[in-house]
Amino acid sequence: MPKHRIFDKGKSIYAILTSYNKPNAHLPVKCIIMDTKWDPVNPKYLVKIINFYDGYLFIKDNFFDMTFSKSLSERARSMRLKATDFKNCEDLTNHFNSPNASRYYIAVDSLMCFARKFEMNERFSMLQLYMISKSLKQAQISAGRKLYRGPMKVDGISEYNTRMKRAWSDTFKNTGIDIDKYLDSII
C-alpha cells in the first residue's frame, strides 16, 4: 500500500484529481498547496491548480461534471463552471489563477499527491492500465455473448485474445509486460 506524502503549504506538487461522481476519470494536474489538514490515516491538501496535463477534449468531457470538495471540511460539489466558457486548457488555467481563484481550490487526498512529475506519471499510468483492463474485460464479455451477432462477435476468450494480440502485441514489446499473461489476467 502506498504511503501518504507530507507536504507544506506553498509547495508546488503534482496530483491526480478524482471525484465521487466520476471515479473512472483521473485528471493529472500541477498545483500549489494552499492549506493542509493533518490526519494520521490520510492527510488532505487544499490545492490551487496551475496546470492540466490532459487534452481539453478529455477535460471538457469529464472535469466540468465532476464534484470536488472546495474546502478541507465540506462535502463535494460541482465547480459551477461551464465547458462552453472556455476554448482550451490555457483559458481554464488562467481562470483558476484569476483574482477570485480561492473559489476553485480543490481538496485532494495525500495518496494522490506527488513531489515529482514522474511519480505522478507512474501512478497515472497504473490507474489507466487498470481502467483500460476493466473496459477490455467488459468488451470481452460483451463480444462473446450468445445472442450477439454484430461485427465485433467472437466465439470465445481464445478468439478475443488472438485478435487483441494481433492488434496490440507490438506495443507490449518494451514494457516488460507479457501480452499473453496480461490477456489471461483480464479474464
Q: Are residues 92 and 108 in the same domain?
A: yes
If one counts the domains in the chain, the total is 2
Of the three residues 74, 99, 115, the one that is the final residue of a domain is 115
Q: Are residues 17 and 76 in the same domain?
A: yes
Contacts with 140 (C-beta within 8 Å, 6 or more apart), sequence order? 154, 157, 160, 186, 187
Per-residue model confidence (pLDDT) at position 117: 96
* 3 falls within a domain: no
Of the three residues 68, 99, 115, the one that is the final residue of a domain is 115
Q: Which of 106, 96, 45 is nearest to 70 (CA)?
A: 106
DSSP structural state of residue 10: T
Q: Are residues 125 and 99 in the same domain?
A: no
pLDDT over 50 at 4, yes or no: yes
Per-residue model confidence (pLDDT) at position 1: 47
- The residue-averaged pLDDT of 58-62 equals 93
3-state secondary structure of 20: coil
Q: Are residues 43 and 99 in the same domain?
A: yes
One-letter-per-residue 3-state SS of 89-116: HHHHHHHHCCCCHHHHCEEEEHHHEECC
Q: Are residues 109 and 135 in the same domain?
A: no
pLDDT tens digits for range 78-122 = 888 889 999 999 999 999 888 888 889 999 999 999 999 999 999
* Cell numbers linked to 156: 470465445
What distance in Å separates the CA atoms of residue 113 and residue 147, rounded to the nearest whole number?
46
Task: Kindly report the pTM of this predicted structure.
Answer: 0.86
Q: Are residues 47 and 33 in the same domain?
A: yes
* 1 falls within a domain: no
* 57 falls within a domain: yes
Beta carbons within 10 angstroms of residue 12's beta carbon: 13
pLDDT over 70 at 172, yes or no: yes
Q: Are residues 47 and 95 in the same domain?
A: yes
Burial class of 95 by CB neighbour count within 10 A (0 to 12, 13 to 18, 19+): middle
Q: Are residues 68 and 134 in the same domain?
A: no
* 23 falls within a domain: yes
Domain that holds residue 179: 119-185
Q: Are residues 128 and 164 in the same domain?
A: yes
Q: Are residues 104 and 132 in the same domain?
A: no
Q: Are residues 151 and 176 in the same domain?
A: yes
Q: Are residues 33 and 74 in the same domain?
A: yes
pLDDT tens digits for range 15-37 = 999 998 998 999 999 999 999 98
What distance in Å separates the CA atoms of residue 38 and residue 32, rounded to the nearest whole number?
17
What distance in Å separates the CA atoms of residue 136 and residue 183, rounded to the nearest whole number?
9
Strand 27-37 and strand 12-17: pairing? antiparallel
Of the three residues 73, 92, 115, the one that is the final residue of a domain is 115
* 2 falls within a domain: no
